Amino acid sequence: MIILIIILIISSIGWLYILCRLLNRVAAMSDKLISLTLFGGIFLLFTPFLFYFWFLKLKVFTSGFYFLNSGEILNQSPLSSVFILIGFFAFAGELIRRKIIEKLKKKSIGKICRLQSTKNVDCSNFFPKKAPWKYIYKIALLIPGNKIRKLFLHNHKIHLQGKVNCQIRIVHITDVHFVERISGEYYEKMVATVNECNADMILFTGDFLQNSDAVSKLKPIFSKLKAKSGIYFVCGNHDIWHKKIHEKTTVEMLEKIGFVHLNGIIEKVQINGDKIYVAGTEQPWIKDNIAGNLAAIPDDSFVILLSHTPDNIHRIPLRNIKLILSGHTHGGQNALPGLGPLIIPSKYGSAHASGYVKVKNSLLYISRGVALHHPLRIMCPLELACIDIDSIK
């Protein structure tokens, strides 16, 4: 009986992987489907377990406890056996796939990137103070593995091969999802933490706001950000959606406080005597000519590309792109202990959940972001990245 229940649980998780891979593909196709998929996903998580519960009940009802006790259940119902076996092999296959991806990542990234230090900011004082959110966050904090208590600032050093000398410090911020139920002090603290990095550039990869009417509240906080060679951004799917329904857009507000919008364009930046390019794309939500613009600058240029979705690494010619910064996936928002995240709005699933990915000569960094608008982030800590880039001819 116990062995059968274990097999059914493993098989259920296998079916979860199958359904979530389908969901991830749907979520990667359209921003309108993302919310639907994420909500649908919550219900979907229970379906394999419900199916097996129904199956067990049915067997108990029709055949009594005899089959369950004897372990002959698989022989008695060929169709159910096929379902159980598919789930079982899907579980094993996905675990092997994830292990291989992890090993390949370590092998290709290990020599290029090094984590130098980590700081953290306590977020517990910034949680909602009013009901019902106050109680929702309190209950959510009781769930083991929920990582909303701390915002981490990771300092990485990366060595990139290039034909341009370049030693710069950038700070990458993504998926702020500014929301009024979270105290403004959280965003103030984030800005102060970023300013302490004394970065050459601050680079945003979208999803600034959760609700568009909070634009005016974000402005005085973000105007305090400081970077020696500028602050650059692209929009995320949330910002683009708000832009379509409201006159006062996030883009207007950010441009007013001096941020540079990289909607398919490239800016030349002079840092410590080194010339680099910073580019941005909002594809697939907004069409642009980023590929043409990249082709117009020399092959040996040093380009940092901002892209809300990490999937653009497979859509855009990488010729002179050394580093791509992305967000969008929130690290999957929630992950199963030991099994990783399930619902990731990327065509490439868990491979694009978070961290570094190497594709040809380009390095992609996917941040889990700083969004505190949802009270659940199981095994997905909040993060800011301070990256020291070291490229030598």
In angstroms, give the least distance from the CB of 264 to Fe ion.
Answer: 20
Cβ-based nearer residue to Fe ion, 175 or 311: 175
Q: Which amino acid is at 366?
A: I
Neighbours of 143 (CB within 10 A): 12
Residue 387 per-residue DSSP state:
E
Q: Is 94 in the site for Fe ion (CB under 5 A)?
A: no
Cβ-based nearer residue to Fe ion, 87 or 236: 236
In angstroms, give the least distance from the CB of 175 to Fe ion.
Answer: 4
Q: Is 175 in the site for Fe ion (CB under 5 A)?
A: yes
Token pair 């950038």 in the structure block, residue: 170
Burial class for 231, CB neighbours closer than 10 Å (0-12, 13-18, 19+) = buried
Instruction: Using DSSP bridges, classify how beta strands 113-122 and 150-161 pair: parallel, antiparallel or unpaired.
Output: antiparallel
Burial class for 368, CB neighbours closer than 10 Å (0-12, 13-18, 19+) = buried
Report which residue's Cβ sits closest to Fe ion.
Answer: 207
Cβ-based nearer residue to Fe ion, 169 or 308: 308
Cβ-based nearer residue to Fe ion, 84 or 234: 234
In angstroms, give the least distance from the CB of 284 to Fe ion.
Answer: 15
Rg (CA), the chain: 23
Q: Which of 266, 270, 203, 205 is CA-nearest to residue 237? A: 205
In angstroms, give the least distance from the CB of 371 to Fe ion.
Answer: 6
Binding Fe ion by CB under 5 A: which of 31, 200, 207, 388? 207
Residue 119 per-residue DSSP state:
E
Q: Is 383 in the site for Fe ion (CB under 5 A)?
A: no
Stretch that binds Fe ion, among 42-50, 77-85, 110-118, 168-176 (CB under 5 A): 168-176
Binding-residue total with Fe ion (CB under 5 A) = 2
In angstroms, give the least distance from the CB of 207 to Fe ion.
Answer: 4
Q: Which of 334, 335, 285 is CA-nearest to residue 311? A: 285
Contacts with Fe ion by CB under 5 A lie at: 175, 207
